[in-house]
C-alpha cells in the first residue's frame, strides 16, 4: 500500500475508533487543532506516564514541576523568543498557499536521499547475498550523482540558515526548481520571517492591559523556577527538572494531522550541569532517550539521530531523534545543549542572581543545561502509525478474512482487556461482571456483550486491546475462561484467578523501565 494511502487510513481509523477528532468539527473545524477521544486520552496519559516515571522515578536526581502557561512577558524577551522565534515563510502566488522555506528545501533533500535508497534497494535485490553496499554507494554513477547534488544543496542550505540569508533561501528554491505541490508552479514570493508566538492581553481595562504570550515551549517555566526547586529540594548539581504541559505555536504550515499543531503538549526535561561537562551529558542523554524510544519494540532501524543543520542561538550542540513515519524520517524529539544562555539571560533581565553554590568547591556558578524535549502528540502519532497493521487471516477451514489491528505496546494500550459473556443469558453476563469487578482495580477493562464473539474481537483489535476474555457455559461449571492474545490471536483456557498475573506481566511498564535502565 502506498504510504500516503496508509496515512489517510490511519487518520480515518483514529476518528472512527475514538482516538483523535478534529477540533470544533461541527463548525467545520479549526486548522491544526485536535481533540483526543475516549481511547486517545488514555493512550496519551500512558505515554505521559511512561515518560514521567522513566525520568522522575528512575532518576534520583530528576524531579517534576508544573508551571503556569502564562508568564511574565519579559521572560520571552530574555529567552530570545520575541526577537528570534521565527520561521522563514514563502507563498506560492498561484495557489496562494504558504510554506516554510526550510521545509521545502528539506523535502527536496529527502527526495535525493530517497533516490539513493531506491538504487541501493534495487541493487540489493539484483545481487542478493553477494551485495556489498559500501562499495556500491561509493562507485555507482547514479548514486554518486545524486549524492553530489545532495551534498551541494545541503552545504548551501546550512550556509543560508546560518547567515539568516532569506534571499539565498529563495534562490535555492528557484535553482532546485521546487514546485508548489498544489498548483505545480514555481511562482514564488520572497521569503519573509514570521514570529510563531500567540499573544493575548491580561488586565481588565485596555489602558492597563499587558501583552502576554501563550508559551511556545515549557522550558522557560523550568528555568525561572530552577533556584526555587534547587533550594527547596536541596538538589545538588547535576540534577534535572521535568515538566509536561501545553505549548502554543502559530505554525505557518500545519499539515500532517497531529504532527504539527498550533496547540500541543510537550514533555521537557532540563538537566543542570557544571560548565564544561555539558557535552558529556549531552551524549549521555542522547543514549538514554534513544533507549526509551527503542524499548517500545517497533524496531531499532526505525530511529536515527539527525544533528541540527543550524544551531539555535542558545545551543552548542543539538540533535533530533527521528522516526520513520509513513511520510519519511521526521523529528520526534530534540536533545539540545543549551549552554548557560537562558539562565544568564534571565539573570540579566530580572536582575536576580541565578547562581548555584557548589558546596564541594565553595564556588558559585551559573549551570549549563542539557535539554530533552519531546511532543506528546508527535509521540502519539509515532506510536499509532507504527502500531497500525492490516492483516489477512487464514481460517481453519482455509477461507481468508482480514483485520485491522493496532499493535500497541501493551503497557501503553488504552484498554488492557475486554470481557465478553458468550451470550446475554444463562447467568453469563453476571459471571462476566463478577470477574471484571475483580480486575478493574488493576486494569482498564471493557465489558461487551453485543454482536458475535468474532465481531467483538475485531473491534478490540482495532482499538489495540491486548487481551480478550470470554466467559461461557463451562465457566459456570469450573471457573475457567478463554484468554485470547491480540497479536497471535492464540486462545488459552485458564482458571480465571490466573488472569491477573498473566495480564500484569504483559501490561506492566516494568519491563520497559528495566530495558532503559540496563
Residues forming contacts to ligand ATP in the complex (CB under 6 A) are 217, 249, 251, 260-261, 264, 266, 331-334, 373-375, 377-378
User: Would you say 212 or 258 has its CB closer to ligand ATP?
Assistant: 258
Q: Which is nearer to ligand ATP, 264 or 282 (CB)?
A: 264
Residue with grid cell 545481487, as numbered in its chain: 127
Nearest distance from C-beta of residue 382 to ligand ATP, angstroms: 9
* Of 218 and 230, CB closest to ligand ATP: 218
How far is 314 from 342, CA to CA, in rounded Å?
Answer: 7
How far lies 296's CA from each of 355, 401, 413, 417, 509, in Å? 39, 29, 12, 19, 10
Structural Rg of the chain based on CA atoms: 26
**Least separation in angstroms between CB 192 and ligand ATP:** 17
Pairwise CA distance, residues 256 & 253, whole Å: 10
Contact 62, 55 (CB under 8 A): yes
- Residue (264 or 325) nearer to ligand ATP, CB: 264
Q: What is the DSSP string of 40-83?
A: HHHHHHHHHHHHHIIIIIT-TTEEEE---S---THHHHHTTHHH
Give the nearer residue to ligand ATP in terms of CB position, either 81 or 156.
81
Q: Is the CB of 261 or the CB of 370 nearer to ligand ATP?
A: 261
Query: Min. distance of Cβ 123 from ligand ATP in angstroms?
Result: 33
CB of 7 to ligand ATP, least distance (A): 16
Q: Where are the beta strands (DSSP E) in 274-430?
A: 303-307, 317-325, 328-339, 356-358, 363-365, 368-375, 388-394, 400-406, 417-421
Q: Three cell numbers at 501?
A: 498475573
Return d(Cα 232, Cα 517) in angstroms, integer.
28
Q: How far is the CB of 230 from ligand ATP (least distance, A)?
A: 24
Tell me how far, at minimum, the Cβ of 390 lies from ligand ATP, in Å: 27
Please, which residue, 108 or 266, has the CB nearer to ligand ATP? Answer: 266
CB-nearest residue to ligand ATP: 375
**Cα gap 11→77, rounded to integer Å:** 38
Q: In terms of CB distance, is 264 or 467 closer to ligand ATP?
A: 264
For residue 412, which of 12, 19, 115 has the smallest C-alpha distance? 19
- Rounded Cα distance between 444 and 467, Å, is 11
How far apart are CB 478 and ligand ATP at their closest, in Å?
51
- How near is the Cβ of 85 to ligand ATP at its closest, in Å? 9
Contact 342, 223 (CB under 8 A): yes
Residue 216 CB, shortest distance to ligand ATP, in Å, is 8
Nearer to ligand ATP by Cβ, of 337 and 373: the residue is 373
Phi, psi (5° rounding) for residue 203?
Answer: 130, 155
Find out whether 470 and 456 touch, Cβ atoms under 8 Å. Answer: no
Residue 226 in grid coordinates: 530552577
Amino acid at each position: 500500500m502506498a504510504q500516503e494511502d496508509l496515512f489517510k487510513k490511519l487518520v480515518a481509523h483514529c476518528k472512527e475508533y475514538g482516538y483523535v477528532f478534529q477540533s470544533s468539527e461541527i463548525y467545520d473545524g479549526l486548522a491544526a487543532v485536535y481533540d483526543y477521544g475516549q481511547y486517545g486520552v488514555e493512550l496519551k496519559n500512558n505515554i505521559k506516564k511512561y515518560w514521567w516515571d522513566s525520568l522522575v522515578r528512575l532518576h534520583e536526581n530528576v524531579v517534576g514541576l508544573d508551571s503556569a502557561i502564562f508568564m511574565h512577558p519579559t521572560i520571552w524577551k530574555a529567552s530570545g523568543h520575541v526577537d528570534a522565534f521565527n520561521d522563514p515563510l514563502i507563498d506560492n502566488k498561484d495557489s496562494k498557499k504558504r510554506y516554510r522555506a526550510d521545509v521545502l528545501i528539506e523535502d527536496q533533500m529527502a527526495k535525493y536521499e530517497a533516490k539513493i535508497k531506491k538504487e541501493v534497494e534495487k541493487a540489493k535485490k539484483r545481487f542478493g547475498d553477494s551485495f556489498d553496499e559500501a562499495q556500491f554507494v561509493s562507485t555507482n554513477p547514479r548514486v554518486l550523482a545524486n549524492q553530489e547534488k545532495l551534498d551541494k544543496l545541503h552545504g548551501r542550505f546550512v550556509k543560508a540558515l546560518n547567515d539568516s540569508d532569506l534571499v539565498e533561501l529563495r534562490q535555492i528554491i528557484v535553482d532546485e526548481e521546487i514546485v508548489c505541490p498544489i498548483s505545480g508552479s514555481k511562482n514564488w514570493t520572497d521569503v519573509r520571517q514570521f514570529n510563531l508566538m500567540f499573544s493575548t492581553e491580561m488586565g481588565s481595562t485596555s489602558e492597563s492591559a499587558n501583552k502576554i504570550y501563550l508559551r511556545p515551549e515549557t522550558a522557560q517555566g523550568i528555568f525561572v523556577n530552577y533556584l526555587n526547586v534547587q533550594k527547596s529540594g536541596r538538589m545538588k548539581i547535576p540534577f534535572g527538572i521535568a515538566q509536561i504541559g501545553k505549548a502554543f505555536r502559530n505554525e505557518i504550515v500545519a499539515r500532517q494531522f497531529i504532527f504539527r499543531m498550533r496547540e500541543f503538549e510537550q514533555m521537557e526535561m532540563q538537566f543542570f550541569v557544571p560548565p564544561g561537562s555539558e557535552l558529556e551529558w549531552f551524549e549521555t542523554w542522547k543514549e538514554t532517550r534513544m533507549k526509551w524510544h527503542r524499548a517500545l519494540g517497533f524496531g531499532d532501524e526505525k530511529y536515527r539521530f539527525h544533528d541540527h543543520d543550524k544551531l539555535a542561538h542558545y545551543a552548542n550542540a543539538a540533535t533530533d531523534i527521528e522516526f520513520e513515519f509513513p511520510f519519511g524520517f521526521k523529528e520526534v524529539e530534540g536533545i539540545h545543549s543549551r549552554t548557560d544562555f537562558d539562565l544568564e539571560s534571565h539573570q540579566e533581565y530580572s536582575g536576580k542572581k541565578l547562581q548555584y553554590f557548589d558546596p564541594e568547591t565553595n564556588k558559585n556558578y551559573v549551570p549549563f543545561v542539557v535539554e530533552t524535549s519531546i511532543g506528546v502528540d508527535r509521540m502519539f502519532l509515532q506510536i499509532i502509525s507504527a502500531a497500525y497493521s492490516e492483516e489477512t487471516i487464514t481460517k481453519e477451514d482455509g477461507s481468508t478474512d482480514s483485520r485491522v489491528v493496532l499493535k500497541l505496546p501493551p503497557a501503553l494500550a488504552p484498554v488492557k482487556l475486554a470481557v465478553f459473556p458468550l451470550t446475554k443469558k444463562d447467568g453469563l453476563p453476571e459471571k462476566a461482571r463478577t470477574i471484571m469487578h475483580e480486575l478493574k482495580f488493576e486494569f482498564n477493562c471493557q465489558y461487551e456483550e453485543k454482536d458475535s464473539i468474532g465481531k467483538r474481537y475485531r473491534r478490540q483489535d482495532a482499538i489495540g486491546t491486548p487481551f480478550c476474555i470470554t466467559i461461557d457455559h463451562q465457566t459456570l461449571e469450573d471457573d475457567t475462561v478463554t484468554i485470547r492474545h491480540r497479536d497471535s490471536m492464540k486462545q488459552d483456557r485458564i482458571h480465571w484467578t490466573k488472569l491477573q498475573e498473566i495480564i500484569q506481566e504483559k501490561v506492566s511498564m516494568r519491563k520497559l523501565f528495566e530495558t532503559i535502565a540496563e
